[in-house]
Amino acid sequence: MTQTAADSPAPARRQRAQIKERTLRTDQWWRYPLVTFIIFTAFLVYATWAIFDNSFFAAPYHAPFASPCLAEAVCPEDARLFGWAPLGDWYTWPPGLLILGLPAGFRFTCYYYRKAYYRGFWLSPPACAVNEPHSKYTGESRFPLILQNIHRYFFYAAIVIGLILAYDAVKALIEKPGGIGTWVLIGNAILINLYTLSCHSCRHITAGRLNHFSKHPVRYRAWGFVSKLNAKHQELALISMFSVMGADLYVRLVAKGILTFTFA
């Protein structure tokens, strides 16, 4: 007797291997998200304190978290950018509140930091091949995370902030070349600017968006340089985060009179 399709047993529906364990990884996969969480939380706590701390200037040093100082009422004359303070007496809040959103936005939307905090804070995923705890996921395809696409605008702002930090460092070098604070500010300005230049948006803008490199040799060379920096973007992001925090704290300690030695 011929067997018909209706007689034959239905093929078993294929499904994934039913494995209950969240992960079968045996290494210390939890270290990266844990360390990320601790470091970033420490940075956020410090930044919050620094914004509201008024000891941001000890001539000629300017704390990076409060630079540029743009308000007449709260900025000593020496602390103003080219002596310029566009905001009058009416602004009496901490100067950092005015500008910190720009570098913070640059770091928040940075492709490296996104990886780090999606893993460390949102656990999406906590580590590769470790199940995330969320029942639904739309990633950066919808509001609010679709706003991550404005990263390049923060990059433009970060270039300006980087130049201002370089200005602060040069000013300190001219006025107090032997001061440790001068070299702390110089080191920080270099690292901040390297981090900014290593940005993926910068890489795209220099020439990444082109398809014919051979028609744009200058931009191609710039792209090659930025690509080399970009390979170290993660390292530069972390080192510059520590450097800006360290430089900021150093200036505040000098301003508070805690560091009083001759070459401070």
User: Which CB, 209 or 256, lies closer to other proteins?
Assistant: 209
Report how far residue 213's alpha carbon sits from residue 143's, in angstroms, rounded to the nearest whole number: 35
Q: Is residue 188 a contact residue for other proteins (CB under 8 A)?
A: no
Position 27, amino acid? D
Instruction: Say how many residues touch other proteins, by CB under 8 A.
Output: 55
185 or 199: CB nearest other proteins: 199
Q: Near other proteins by CB under 8 A, which window of 48-56, 172-180, 197-205, 240-248?
A: 197-205
Using CB under 8 A, pick the residue from 5, 6, 10, 12 that binds other proteins. 12
Indicate whether 119 belongs to the interface with other proteins (CB under 8 A): yes
Measure Cα distances from 119 to 29, 35, 123, 127, 243 in Å: 11, 11, 5, 7, 23
Q: Considering only residues 126-145, where is the footprint of other proteins by CB under 8 A?
A: 128-132, 134, 136-142, 145
Task: Name the residue nearer to other proteins (CB basis): 176 or 200.
Answer: 200
Least spacing, CB of residue 115 vs other proteins, in Å: 5
Q: Which two tokens stand for residue 220?
A: 């191609």
- The answer to the question of residue 40 lying near other proteins (CB under 8 A) is no
Q: Interface with other proteins includes 159 (CB under 8 A)?
A: no
Q: Say what the alpha-carbon torsion angle 117, 118, 122, 127 is, to the nearest 10 degrees.
A: -110
Task: Note whether 8 binds other proteins by CB under 8 A.
Answer: no
Asked if residue 125 binds other proteins (CB under 8 A), the reply is: yes
Place of tokens 């047993």: 9
Q: By the criterion CB under 8 A, which residues form the site for other proteins?
A: 12-19, 23-27, 111, 114-115, 118-119, 124-125, 128-132, 134, 136-142, 145-146, 149-152, 200-201, 203-204, 208-216, 220, 230-231
